[in-house]
Amino acid sequence: MRIATALLPVLVLTACGSDGTSGTTPAGAQASPAPTDDPVAPVRKVDTVAALLPADVRQGGTLRIGSSIGFPPGAYYPNGQDKPPAGQDIDIADAVAKVLGVKLERQDASFETILPALGSGKYDVGTGNFGVTTERLKTVDFVTYINDGQGFAVKKGNPTLTTKVTALTQLCGLTIGTGAGTTFEATLTAKQGVCAEAGKKPYDVKVYSENGATLTALQQGRIDVVMSTINGLRYQAAQPAAQTAFLGEYHRLDVGFAFKKGSPLAKAFQAAVNELIKDGTYARILKKWGTTASAIDTSRVNPPEHT
């Protein structure tokens, strides 16, 4: 799943896989400062969980995390790019690091570059609202921490689409904007023949590498609808400045930390997430960001894609 920014600058979301790619801040984020409560502050190292880390990581004490920063509530810059990012993904990653007794060396990266960079060793772990899909599981390991997914949004007042999108045939003849390298792009491309099969004009897909460009296109009428993450689109629609309307959930996906295939870090991260679920920190983080409906009961390594 993945998503975010500046319309002039409002925001658009792009990915499951995916948060935003440009790292700029959406207007909705500017209008709504980050919550001030800090459920991560009390978290302490849990020795039995930290012991699951490889010896060299325990000794080095640092992990490199490739992080896609783009839009609330996942990860964004509420106070500008010269200040630390905030969001649900940031809090969960920081809490996991505290349980493991390590520090995160966070490196901002565009969404579509993170998964390939895991294989090259540039990052130890990646975050960016990455949805767990069958295709991604061929090359990447995942440790789940939330359940999000795919949804649609339109410009508020759009007369063409006014009801929940439950089938892609509802989009026939329209132009859909989404983010590069996302599950949204993959879904739309794979299903592009459904309109012809239904005897309708096909939909057109426009892919943007920057989320701000996607939203600008929506506001200017160059695209009719945006496909992005459920939580991001829902959050965006709640911000008056965004002037968008959320058209509901289309397909749920587990979201997880991403690792190169066979990474020895996966079991340690899974245990850390489950520790946070057990001690209540996880629930407090989701409550802070308004994503309680996306909570999971337990973290899993490489679960099958939701059908």
User: Over its length of 307 residues, how does the chain's per-residue pLDDT go in tens digits?
Assistant: 443 333 333 343 434 544 333 333 333 334 357 888 999 999 999 999 999 999 999 999 999 999 998 778 999 999 888 899 999 999 999 999 999 999 999 999 988 899 999 999 999 999 998 999 999 999 999 999 999 989 999 999 998 888 999 999 999 999 999 988 888 999 999 999 999 999 999 999 999 877 678 888 988 999 999 999 899 889 888 888 888 999 999 999 999 999 999 999 999 999 999 999 999 999 999 999 999 999 999 999 999 998 7
The β-bridge partners of 141 are: 259
Contact (Cβ atoms closer than 8 angstroms) between residue 275 and residue 49 = yes
Reported in sequence order, the residue ranges of the chain that DSSP labels E, i.e. its strands, are: 62-67, 103-108, 125-127, 140-155, 175-179, 204-208, 225-229, 244-260
Token pair of 126, please?
Answer: 């990646």
Q: Report helix, strand or coil for 261.
A: coil
Q: Which residue has the tokens 């009961």?
A: 297
Amino acid type, 290: G
Amino acid at 191: K
CA end-to-end span of the chain? 15
Give residue for tokens 């701000």. Answer: 212
